[in-house]
Every structure is written in structure tokens, then in C-alpha cells.
């Protein structure tokens, strides 16, 4: 990766902190990264842990930025962008936003025309280096800038570009919100095992390890997940009976509807935040 001065607003937070940690671990120079925040003690601990520069002055940090990463809550994003608009409009760094729900048009209004902007939608497994980040580039983002955004995402997992901004809503439905789907299923398995008489600690240990093993097997395999499922099933066996119960209970249709609801809510939030 080309070494650019990267400034993370809200950089000591969980998601930005994970990205910064991934970048440093992958060899990006820590002295080329600045993390900003309001809590001096928290920033000092973050600097000690990662080796990056820290600052409580957003404006001063952005004045030196080649890449500006915005990692604050959507509710405060407008005020932040408007406070930085003059300097961002003048310098035109690559802006990468990690906030969910806010459409590109809003950033263009808040920051000014001509600023290259990439929307990035990471998910929480980025915190342990196994994340998925959906990416969408606005007009004026160069191929080199797209590569910077992609490599930043790859520092904590895998990256996927979408051609249309609406594709971000689909990324949210699959991977942005997806970890919660698996947590729900794991919770249900743990509860069921406990009700059947297994100690809860054992049920949790077995469920989590099984989920980890299944995911690793699926990633490593050269066959699709449908075939992997069939590989576990013996005719008229235990697994087949369980799978038939899921299917007769409407699990495939329920998953489809839940993901559709998720994507629709993402689109609704974009309209609500585009003010």
C-alpha cells in the first residue's frame, strides 16, 4: 500500500481502532496514522498500544490528511462534516466513511462538491480480523484511491465493491447485520441444549466451536454450502431429521424475509439521515 497520511476521526473507537490495528499489523507505518478523539487519557492509551499519533484537534489533524476516515455515530456526522467542510473542500482528501445509513449525497452536501468519497460498511468481526466490508465509490474517486480503501478494508478481513449505492443495503442485510443472525441461531442452540439437560457452559462451548468449525470448513472447501450440508446428512439419519424440521418450519423463507426487512430498513434509514 502506498503510504498516505491517514486521519481517523473517532479513531480510538472500536471499529476505527480495529482498522488501525489491522493496518499497523499489516505493515502500514504507524507514524503515518493519526487518531482523533475527545478523551485524552483514552487517546494516550491507544497511542501507547498502537504507536500511532493522536490528537484532540480534528481541524489540525485534517489539515495534513491525504485520507480522512470518518468513524463517528450517524447522529453527529452532519455536524462533524460541516465543521470540517472548509478544509476538506480545499484539500480534497479521500474521505472514507464507516458510518451506516448515510447516503453519499448527504456527504456531498455537507463537505462540498468535488470531494472523493467512499462509503465503507464493515461488520463487527473486523474487531478480530475476520470482517467483511462493503465498499461504494462516489464520482471522482480514482483507481488509486479505490485501492487505498480496499486495502484498508482488507487489513481487517475481506472487501467487496458494489456497483450501485443501493448495493450497500444488500451488504448490510448479508454481512453488516449477519453476525447477529448467527448469534441468534447460536443462542437458540444453546438454549435448546440446556433444556435437554446439558449444562449451559458445555452447550455454549460445543455450539461456538461447532459454528467456528463449520465456517472454517466452508471457507476452506471447494464445494458449496448446500453440498457440505448434504455431506453431513445420512439417509434417514439424525441430521436429516433435524434439517427436515428446519425446512418444514419455514426457515429458508424466514431468513429470506428477515434479510429483505433488513435491507428495507437500511434504505429507510438512508432517507431519514439524508436531511
Structural domain boundaries, residue 28: 6-167
- What's the CA gap between 108 and 90, in Å, rounded? 14
The reply to whether 123 and 248 lie within a common domain is: no
The reply to whether 161 and 28 lie within a common domain is: yes
Could you report the per-residue pLDDT of 72-93, keeping only the tens digit for each? Answer: 998 899 999 999 999 999 999 9
Could you report the per-residue pLDDT of 96-112, keeping only the tens digit for each? Answer: 999 988 999 999 999 99
The reply to whether 116 and 218 lie within a common domain is: no
| Residue closest to 132 by CA, chosen among 101, 94, 173 | 173
The reply to whether 53 and 75 lie within a common domain is: yes
The DSSP code for 124 is: G
pTM: 0.90
C-beta atoms surrounding 263 within 10 Å: 21
The reply to whether 13 and 147 lie within a common domain is: yes
Mean pLDDT along residues 1-15: 85
Task: Examine the pLDDT at 2 and tell me if it is beyond 90.
Answer: no
The DSSP code for 139 is: T
Annotation: binding site for NADP(+): 9-15
CATH of the domain at 195: 1.10.3730.10
**Is residue 273 a part of any domain in this protein?**
no
Annotation: binding site for NADPH: 58
Annotation: binding site: 9-15, 58
The reply to whether 249 and 211 lie within a common domain is: yes
58 neighbors 37 (Cβ within 8 angstroms): no
262 neighbors 178 (Cβ within 8 angstroms): no
Could you report the per-residue pLDDT of 234-274, keeping only the tens digit for each? Answer: 999 999 999 999 999 999 999 999 999 999 999 998 888 87
Expressed in angstroms, the distance from the first to the final Cα of the chain is: 36
- What's the CA gap between 101 and 168, in Å, rounded? 9
User: Which region, left, alpha or beta, applies to residue 181 given φ > 0 means left and ψ of -120 to 50 means alpha?
Assistant: alpha
Amino acid at each position: 500500500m502506498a503510504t498516505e497520511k491517514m486521519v481517523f476521526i473517532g479513531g480510538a473507537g472500536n471499529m476505527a481502532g480495529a482498522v488501525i490495528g489491522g493496518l499497523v499489523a499489516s505493515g502500514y507505518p504507524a507514524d503515518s496514522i493519526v487518531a482523533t478523539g475527545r478523551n485524552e487519557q483514552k487517546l494516550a492509551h491507544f497511542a501507547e498500544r498502537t504507536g500511532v499519533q493522536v490528537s484532540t484537534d480534528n481541524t489540525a489533524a485534517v489539515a495534513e490528511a491525504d485520507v480522512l476516515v470518518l468513524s463517528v455515530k450517524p447522529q453527529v456526522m452532519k455536524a462533524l462534516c460541516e465543521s470540517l467542510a472548509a478544509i476538506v473542500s480545499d484539500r480534497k482528501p479521500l474521505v472514507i466513511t464507516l458510518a451506516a445509513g448515510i447516503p453519499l449525497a448527504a456527504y456531498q452536501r455537507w463537505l462540498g462538491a468535488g470531494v472523493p468519497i467512499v462509503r465503507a460498511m464493515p461488520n463487527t468481526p473486523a474487531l478480530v480480523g475476520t470482517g467483511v466490508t462493503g465498499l461504494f465509490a462516489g464520482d471522482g474517486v480514482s483507481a488509486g484511491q479505490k485501492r487505498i480503501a480496499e486495502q484498508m478494508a482488507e487489513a481487517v478481513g475481506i472487501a467487496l465493491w458494489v456497483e450501485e449505492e443501493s448495493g450497500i443495503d444488500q451488504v448490510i442485510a448479508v454481512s453488516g447485520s449477519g453476525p447477529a443472525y448467527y448469534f441468534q441461531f447460536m443462542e437458540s442452540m444453546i438454549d435448546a441444549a440446556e433444556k435437554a439437560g446439558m449444562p449451559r457452559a458445555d452447550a455454549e462451548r460445543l455450539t461456538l466451536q461447532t459454528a467456528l468449525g463449520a465456517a472454517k470448513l466452508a471457507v476452506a472447501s471447494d464445494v458449496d454450502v448446500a453440498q457440505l450440508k448434504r455431506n453431513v446428512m445420512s439417509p434417514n439419519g439424525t441430521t436429516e431429521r433435524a434439517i427436515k424440521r428446519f425446512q418444514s418450519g419455514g426457515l429458508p423463507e424466514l431468513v429470506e424475509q428477515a434479510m429483505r426487512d433488513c435491507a428495507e430498513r437500511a434504505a429507510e434509514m438512508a432517507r431519514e439521515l439524508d436531511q
